[in-house]
Amino acid sequence: QVQLVESGGGLVQAGGPLRLSCAGSGRTSSSYTLAWFRQAPGKEREFVAVITWTGSTTVYADSVKGRFTISRDNAKNTVYLQMNSLKPEDTAVYYCAARSGYGSVDVNRYSYWGQGTQVTVSS
């Protein structure tokens, strides 16, 4: 079992930065593929970014490519999402997720989820 706890959400003006963190604990969480998803009101949960357990491979949604950076510190069992040049359309609840297999953009392939952290971008 893996437990995930997100932090770092909040209210930010458009164009500003924000960094999210997700701390993992439990069964060898450092060996898991970790990802960020987000869900805006009335919309389905969507993929944002994923990083393999070695950190050697990252994949981003087209909507955040060039603005967001995912990274991880396995010594701290923590994954980060640095968000720059934020836009109002980035407003959503952001979730981190973990799975023991290869990286995936499919929300249904992730077994473990955090509780989410709200990000609100004002125009």
Give residue 53's pLDDT. Answer: 87
For 22-64, the pLDDT digits (tens) are: 999 887 655 789 999 999 999 999 999 999 988 889 999 999 9
Single out the residue of 84, 93, 67, 118 nearest to residue 14, CA to CA: 84
Distances (CA, A) of 80 to 42, 43, 55, 89: 26, 24, 12, 20
